[in-house]
Chain A
Amino acid sequence: MVSDTRSEPALRSGAVVPARAGAGLKADHVADILETGADIGFFEVHAENYMGAGGPPHRQLEAIRSRYPLSLHGVGLSIGGEQPLDKEHLQRLSNLNRRYEPGLFSEHLAWSSHDTTYFNDLLPVPYDEATLNRVCDHIDEVQETVGRRMLLENPSTYVAFAQSTMSELDFLSEIVRRTGCGLLLDINNVHVSCTNHERSASDYLAAFPMAAVGEIHLGGHAPDQDDAGRPLLIDAHDREVDTAVWQLYEDVIGANGPLPTLIEWDNNVPAWPVLLAEAQAADRILAQPAGARRKHAV
């Protein structure tokens, strides 16, 4: 289900990412991982951390890539931005795809650059026709330049746009229909956004276009409160996956079968065994008989 029929012959997507749990790769963990030969399905890296010319980051990633399937996750392309994509940045992403041949390649439904400023955050987009057209044009450009199908990740949001004319689900579904891209379903983002906007996460997930999903993200969030004292969850990636998110994940896997699942832990990063234990918890859910209706990855 993560196969890629759109690839140019020049670009091979490397080892297929299996329907197992993986972890976000942290430089501090690499020695531990290689020494212990950690039994884990795959690693995911933020593309922007590997855009230097050389040095230890590439040496480490080569070592990981030679032993594990890889997922390449961009965080700075600003696909939801108002201005044209940064051609140089897109080329860097394309080069990384060629160099490391990841099994999966993803980016975000968000914007992060405007004019000459990069904001280093995944900022929200209004769900209206003009934005939809722009996002689809940008995804077409990404898939044409990189020469492969990409996965688009659903966002965590803290505000809604009064100008939005469609739901997030309709917006995502229409993107998939028009561009042929896949989706990265971040279940923590679903829980965070649905809590923040007082919607049902279960209903959202039941209506999610699962056929397009090539990967799942799980991560931790930080609880806060908004101006009126309502719960406001922050997508902090700074702790264990929340119980409510595990429950939603179990439901999704039970209903849809196993999918490659990443544990994201980017701040207050724990020792490697703690992160590995989170991945193993996801693996146990993936292996449950209820979800044993395995679709074979090709």
Chain B
Amino acid sequence: MRSEMRSPLSPPQVDAASFGRALFDPQSATPDGLTGPDGQTAPKRFNVYRNNVIVSLSEALGETFPAVKTLLGDDYFKALARAFVTAHPPASPVLIWYGAEFADFLSAFPPLQSYPYLGDVARLEWAWLQAYHAADEAALDPARLGDIDPQRLGDVRFTPHPAVHVVTSRWPVWTIARANRFEPDEVGAADLSEPQSVLITRPDMDVNVFLLRAGGAGFTLDLLQGHTLADAAGRAQEEDESFSLSDCLSDCLAAGAFSGLLLDE
């Protein structure tokens, strides 16, 4: 652009595409035509915008993933956030929805391969945020199950509550998240050989996270996907003989995982 002949009467035009490209490429030149009061191109002035974009989006990411930030430390997180923001800038101006790809980005980030649980910690934090902003709805009153003909209990299907999420992990994701975010003073060292899965709900204003017992994750996911109680219990039993239908169902109901139930006629 700079080498082209230009009449002094037609100053260089800066469009949004070139402005935007330069924002995400710190090595690129300041677009010609953006000036200080002396009419000269002003790299340091343009860098205010570059800095605002990267820093504000990195901070938004840090607010959504505080446990990941604590695990990595501020400096590492800052560098990582810059890489993520540049590779996956938000599409929407609603930043409470920014960071959906962060967990997969962490899992695939080569320098972090020796911390394989990080992606799952991010998945848990993302699910927590979705639950926080989900639509408000009353949880299913467990007493409603008592109204069902016992012969037909197995045919019951549940409507997932708008805030419900399940995060499954091969790692002690809840112990790690508690130690680095939710209850930092109350958690000891994590046993990395212990897989953990959690149920996340928000029946009122507080987001709750529950550690699921053995067999509970698959069962809960099946119910959330609309399988009947009998189907979900049968599958869970096949997976794990110690599976307890009454315990796992009580957990789901007490946590507020469902907003309603259906019985096919």
Contact = CB atoms under 8 A, between A and B. Distances in A.
B94 A198 contact: no
A56 B94 CA distance: 16
Contacts of B48: 158, 224, 232, 234
B57 interface: yes
Classify chain A: how many residues form its interface, as a range.
35 or more
Interface string A196-221: 11100000000000000000000000
A198 B37 contact: yes
Nearest to B34: A159
A113 B46 CA distance: 17
A59 B206 CA distance: 12
Contacts of B135: 53-54
Contacts of A5: none
B40 to A, nearest CB: 8
Contacts of A81: 16
Contact of A232 (B44, B56, B131): B44
A110 to B, nearest CB: 11
Interface string A231-250: 01010000000000000000
A117 B89 contact: yes
A59 B204 CA distance: 10
A77 B162 CA distance: 27
B53 to A, nearest CB: 5
A58 to B, nearest CB: 8
A54 B44 CA distance: 41
Give the 3 A-B CB pairs with smallest separation, nearest first: A76-B93, A52-B133, A162-B11
Given A58-B136, A92-B94, 17 more contacts: A55-B131, A56-B132, A78-B93, A89-B93, A114-B17, A121-B53, A121-B56, A123-B19, A126-B13, A158-B42, A159-B45, A160-B35, A163-B13, A196-B37, A226-B45, A230-B37, A232-B45
17 contacts: A48-B93, A53-B133, A54-B162, A55-B132, A76-B94, A81-B16, A89-B93, A89-B94, A113-B93, A116-B91, A118-B89, A158-B45, A159-B34, A161-B14, A161-B33, A198-B37, A225-B44
